[in-house]
Amino acid sequence: MSYPRFVPLYDHKELEKLLSLWAAGSLDSIASPHGVAVGVEDCDYSPQGFRPMSLLSRYTSEEVELVLFEMAIAPAPWPQYTAILIAKSLAKTPLSDLARSLGVDCSLVQGYYSQAQDEFMRRLMRRTSSVGGIYG
């Protein structure tokens, strides 16, 4: 499946939290604190009005797993980058350890990791948000 690449905007810390909660098996119990805004995609209520839902309340374990699987069977280098994303996010593995194991410099692995994060979010957002509808 091909689709135009877009730059996903997200909070990197929140993505790490999303993957940690998925690994802990508690992602699906996170709900929007103020309830979903009916008829407005991916938003919830706040005292100031609508606001974007956090990644944690927006996505389910099933969606995380689907995207991880998609990336794992995508052409190289995505399977390896996905393994780096998982190792760094779940085990808090220092990027220097991963760089050494791959025989490359730290700055390169930082790049692999950032690309894996962006690709993961690109695919995840495309699954459930209107972004895919507009650009895909």
Partner 1 sequence: MGRKRTTSVTHGTRYVAIADYLKHRIDQEVDFYNMRVRSLDDEAETVSSVAALIRTICSSYSLRFLEGWIEPYAIESESDVQFSMHIDRQSSGLWNSVIRAGGATDLHHLINLSLADYFDREDQRAILWCDRLIIIEQQLAAQDWESIKELLYVG
Cα–Cα dist 3/1, whole Å: 7
Does 101 sit near partner 1 (CB under 8 A)? yes
- Minimum CB separation from partner 1 for residue 98, in Å? 6
- Among positions 30-69, residues that touch partner 1 (CB under 8 A) are 65, 68-69
Q: Could you give the count of Cα atoms lying within 13 Å of 32 in the half-sphere of its Cβ? A: 17
Between 22 and 53, name the residue whose CB sits nearer to partner 1. 22
Question: CA distances (Å), 86 to each of 30, 60, 67, 104, 136, in order?
Answer: 21, 17, 12, 19, 26
**Residues near partner 1 (CB under 8 A):** 20, 23-24, 65, 68-69, 71-73, 79-80, 82-84, 86-87, 90-91, 93, 96-102, 105-107
